[in-house]
Amino acid sequence: MPEFCTCGAQLPPDALFCHKCGKPQRELVVPEIHIPEHAEFALPLAPVAVNPPAAPMNFHNRVALRIALLVAVIATVLSFLPYLNWLAAGYFAVFLYRRRTGCPLDLGSGVRMGWMTGILMFMIFAVLITGFVILLNASGNAEMFQAVLKNATDPKVKEMLKVFQNGPEIAILLAQLFFFITCLSMIGGALGAKLIGRVSRPPGGGNIV
C-alpha cells in the first residue's frame, strides 16, 4: 500500500481513501454469498381463525337466557299453533344464539338451549293459567263463569272451562303442558344444533336482544 496519495498527501496505515482528495487507495473485496439452487424458504403462515370457546349452556349464560326468554314470549303469542310453536321455539333459540355469539353448538348444547326455552314457556303458561283461575274464582265472577259455561256450544270449550273449576285437573293440565312444551322444545333445539349449530358464522352478528 503506498504511503502517499497521488495528490501528495501522506496516508495513514491501512487507509482506504485519501483524507485530502478522497481517492480510493485499494479495491474492496465483497464476499459472495452462495444460495443453494434447491433451497426452500418458509413463508409466514396466516393466522387461523379459531372459534371462541362456548359458554356453559345454562341459566347463568345471560345471552342464552335473554334469547330463550325472547323466543318463549314469541312462542306464547303464537299459541294458536300448538306443538308447532314449541318445536320451532327450540330451533330458533339455537339459531339466534348461534347468530348472536358465533359459538358452535353441539347436540347437547342445542338440547339444553331448547330445554331452557321450554322451561320459560311453561312458566309463562303457568302464570297465565293461574291468573285466569284466580280471576274466575274471584267474587262476582263465579256467576258469570257459570253463565258462560251453560251458553257454550263447543264441547271442547265446555270441557276446558270445566277443567279450570277442578284443582286436580288443573294440576294434570300443567303437568301435560310441562311435558309437551319441554320435550318439543328440546327436540327443536337438537334439530337446530344438527342443522345450523356448526355452520361457520362470524361472531357478533348483531344484537338480537
3-class DSSP state of 48: coil
pLDDT tens digits for range 70-123: 999 999 898 888 789 999 999 999 999 988 888 878 889 999 999 999 999 999
pTM of the model: 0.61
Domain assignment present for residue 46? The answer is no
110 and 170 inside one domain: yes
Domain assignment present for residue 88? The answer is yes
24 and 111 inside one domain: no
With beta carbons less than 8 A apart as the criterion, state whether 105 and 54 touch.
Answer: yes
Q: Distance from first CA to last CA of the chain, Å, rounded?
A: 85
pLDDT tens digits for range 119-144: 999 999 999 888 877 777 665 555 66
81 and 172 inside one domain: yes
Domain assignment present for residue 14? The answer is yes
The boundaries of the domain holding residue 18 are: 1-30
Domain assignment present for residue 203? The answer is no
Checking if the pLDDT of 199 tops 80, the result is no
pLDDT band at 66 (very low <50, low <70, confident <90, very high): very high
Domain assignment present for residue 36? The answer is no
The total number of structural domains in the chain stands at 2
The grid coordinates of residue 144 equal 258469570
**Of 78-82, 143-147, 153-157, which has the strongest mean pLDDT?**
78-82
pLDDT band at 208 (very low <50, low <70, confident <90, very high): very low
Domain assignment present for residue 201? The answer is no
